Structure 1
Amino acid sequence: MRKALLLTTLAVVLASGTALADTSAKRIALSNNYAGNSWRQAMLTSWDTITKPAVEKGIVAAADAFTTAENQATEQAAQIQNLILQGYDAIVINAASPTALNGAVKEACDAGIVVVSFDGIVTEPCAWRIAVDFAAMGKAEIDYLKEALPGGGKLLEIRGLAGVFVDDEISKGIHEGVAENPQFEIVGSVHGDWAQDVAQKAVAGILPSLPEDIVGVVTQGGDGYGAAQAFAAAGRPTPLIIMGNRQDELAWWKQQKDASGYKTMSVSIAPGVSTLAFWVAQQILDGQDVPKDLVVPFLRIDQDGLEAALETTPSGGVANVEYTLEDAQKVIAAAK
């Protein structure tokens, strides 16, 4: 009876043209190029939160995470080559560079390994990409400022990690927004590495050379609280600082809102995008037809949603969304 049922099921699958795959023996690795800020730490935590139960349930055999010691494309390329040698079936990558890893990615693809890049994506055609429209995210900051500060004014830009695709794209969107709104002018730019302590030092270093009438600070995430601390330490008025969904930023914003009605907005990619990349890799290994390019929205918090976001964001963490298999299937279906 059982044999007959299995044969019937197989006949139905073959007749429908659908591949029946089993990923329980498949091993997926995460290659991460940097872990030096709260967003990356939250990203790694989300990966563990979702992948460990998947391993325990036998959905995949392993979902191991590896982070390079330095944010160097050469080091990450060597890491990917090592993962190829270790025989992983899929490699999920948050890449140090969109192009510098392409050789290692192609080696993985040629070895029959599925490669899914996210956040920091790669341009090698054999890989899959899960991207946020980071340029649109940067432009959204200027769109907010033109409503909040209709008179315009001078802006300070805090960028992320130099040379990384995400940093370039967000900055591109910010500058496009300023070009369309010439009432604003970027009078200074520093790299904050998406970390509040680095951003605080960088802003403190440039403030003496900037005019007194800075009206806004455009950011990339993880730098808003550091910027606020630098302005306060310098005894300068606090401008409108765009936040990046970190708990310390949201807590500071709430304090200022309660004290003086301070208004701003907060925007970033959810660290849990790593979990979407995991499920996408699992679905590809399962034989599903997945488009090479998938897009997910950025996570935005406005004034009226501040308290709710802060309540669900752990101390030292980042406002987040983690993805289920069903979420991944919906993203895949939407891209077709």
Structure 2
Amino acid sequence: MTKARNFKKIMLVVSICALFLLGLGMQAFAKLPVVGISTGSSGTSWRTIMINSLEQVGNEYKAAGKIADYKIVNNVVNGDATEQANIIRDFIAQGVDIILVNPNSPTALNGVIKEAQEEGILVVAFDATVTAPDVVNVTLDHYAWHQKNVEWICSTLQKGNLIQIYGLEGHPANIDRMKAASDVLKKYPDIKLIASTSGYWDQTKAKEVASQIIASGQQIDGVITQDGMAYGVLSAFLDAGKLPKVMFGDPGTAFFKEWKRLRDEGAEFKACAQPNPPGIGGTAFRIALQLYNGKKFKPGVLKDNTYFYKVSMFITDENFEEGWELLKDKPDDYLLNEIMSEEEVAALFE
């Protein structure tokens, strides 16, 4: 009897040890990923907030033991796809497990993305899209986003001269937005687009090019622009002692301060603002980790391998106070931002 009891005790100890060793083996198998992030561009307010959002999620995941590490590498030449491809190749050589990329081209990175995938690296694009197979894109529907802005501008103006100051040449998001603007303008024959040029998604550059157009002496009734440039454009008009009747505005503190002042003065000026949350990078980070851990999207979440983040806020003079309440105590370079929570992202998966 005693021998039988001792044998059971020994077997129990052996079983516990085996389970412990198995657990160690499973932990070794479930390798914590290293994440490489290529932002494509930096230096603007929007990009700075985007990078801060990526760092916020990366630090959260490191502290929680969900990733081993992350590294962010910005382009030296903003918007250059060749340099970005070399950054991604460096990530491959370093043996990262996940690559997050804000692509500078929808197609030029497809070759290097394939190289990464052949090494077993998960690649997720954010803010803009790539056409490479088996890459999940996390972005706004930039066509629909800008279509809403330009439709509001044109329907408010009805007739007159518009200028357009757009983002980085060749960038996928800018390409979609330019097409949206072109399609809307076709519906308004009494509105003439008299100038169209790049402001590089930069306030200073946008102010420079707007000042040059204003100095030509042409009548300008409205402005089509994009996030991160409107304050610079409006400043150029104010410096010249002029004012457009209608324009797209930054969803940020600096622009809203001027907008409020013009409203209070009763100026003939109307604007709309729609956030393009810089936190899309942080949202993509969360989605990428779910995919790395083997999770599958629920049916219908993706469209053409893309998750389209939905922006709910659209601000005009009618609901100006809603935006002002969110911005009035923020620094001048602040832009409205949001990152999907871990729970919200988890709800996208089975």
Q: Same fold (TM over 0.5)?
A: yes
Provide the aligned length of Structure 1 versus Structure 2.
320
2:326 to 299, 309, 313: 309
Q: Which residue of 1 aligns with 2:4?
A: none
Percent identity (aligned): 28
Residues 1:176 and 1:35: Cα distance change in structure 2 (over 3 Å):
same
**Separation in 2, partners of 1:129, 1:199:** 28
Listed as ranges, the matches of 1:258-269 within 5 Å are 258-260=264-266, 262-269=269-276
What are structure 2's unaligned runs of at least 5 residues?
Answer: 1-11
Mapped to 2, the partners of 1:193 and 1:79 lie a distance apart of: 21
3-state secondary structure, aligned to 1:300: coil
In the TM superposition, residue 210 of structure 1 has moved relative to its aligned partner by 5.3
What is the RMSD of the two structures over their aligned residues, measured on CA atoms? 2.6
Match of 1:77 in 2: 85
| Residue type of the alignment partner of 1:26 | P
Q: Which runs of 4+ in 1 moved over 4 A?
A: 1-4, 20-24
The CA distance in 1 between the partners of 2:151 and 2:216, in whole Å, is: 27
1:205-232 Cα distance to aligned partner (Å, 9 max, x none):
12233522x2210111111111111112
SS in 2 for 1:116: strand
Which sections of structure 1, spanning at least 5 residues, go unmatched? 11-19
Report the CA distance between 1:148 and its aligned residue.
2.5
The equivalent position to 1:224 in structure 2, one of 210, 220, 230, is 230
Secondary structure, counterpart of 2:193 in structure 1: strand
Give the secondary-structure state (helix, strand or coil) at the position aligned to 2:314.
Answer: strand
Could you tell me how far apart the structure 1 residues matched to 2:121 and 2:197 are? 39
Match of 1:64 in 2: 71
What's 2:9 paired with? none
Tell me the amino acid that sits aligned with residue 53 of structure 2: S
The Cα shift of 1:318 comes to 1.2
Tell me which amino acid in the other structure corresponds to 1:153.
G
**Who is 2:250 aligned against?**
244
Q: Distance in 2 between matches of 1:124 and 1:90?
A: 16
AA partner of residue 296 (structure 1): Y
Residue range with higher mean Cα deviation, 231-240 or 81-90: 231-240
2:179 and 2:217 mapped to 1: Cα distance? 22
Deviation at 1:247, TM superposition (A): 2.6
Q: Flag the 1:126–1:137 CA change in 2: closer, same or farther, 3 A.
A: same
**Offset, 1:37:** 0.9
Question: Residue in 1 aligned with 2:118?
Answer: 110
Report what 1:101 is aligned to. Answer: 109
TM-score in terms of structure 2 length: 0.84
Residue in 2 that maps onto 1:253: 259
> Does the 8 A contact of 2:252 with 2:327 survive in 1?
no
Which residue does the alignment assign to 2:3?
none
**Pairwise CA distance, 1:253:** 1.5
